[in-house]
Amino acid sequence: MIAKHYTDIPEKDTGFEGVTIRWLVSPRLGAKNYAMRYFAMKKGSEIPMHSHDWEHEIFIVRGEGIITNGKEEHHVKTGDFLYVPPNEPHGYKATGETLEFICIIPAKKEAIPEDEWA
């Protein structure tokens, strides 16, 4: 068993201004089925629309934002959760001072950076 505080894991740049990621659980720790990520978005930051062939399970830990699939917008806040099916476009925008969320994805090679497999 591994037990840590999320702040024990260093934040990494995502390539999107004002957005960081912490890979809390990944194959690096021995996870074979799922990866758990912690995203922090500063007010006004965005993750543009994109899609993947894997699902996402998302839990909003702190803040407020908008998550869209291009057809509908979901205004989310602390305590909300979302399920994003495979291949569904999705994008994020932080509208409060921060938007922090946990996102769980399958542990697939194409979904996880190489350094999270080591």
Domain ranges of the chain: 9-106
pLDDT the model gives residue 110:
87
**Distance between terminal CA atoms of the chain?**
18
User: How far apart are alpha carbons 87 and 78 in whole angstroms?
Assistant: 26
pTM for the model: 0.94
User: How far apart are alpha carbons 80 and 111 in whole angstroms?
Assistant: 24
Asked whether residue 117 carries a pLDDT value surpassing 90, the answer given is no
Asked whether residue 68 carries a pLDDT value surpassing 90, the answer given is yes
Q: pLDDT band at 70, cuts 50/70/90?
A: very high
Q: Which of 35, 30, 87, 95 is nearest to 63 (CA)?
A: 95
How much of the chain exceeds pLDDT 90, in percent?
A: 92
Q: Is 73 strand, coil or helix?
A: strand
Fold of 9-106: Jelly Rolls (2.60.120)
pLDDT the model gives residue 15:
95
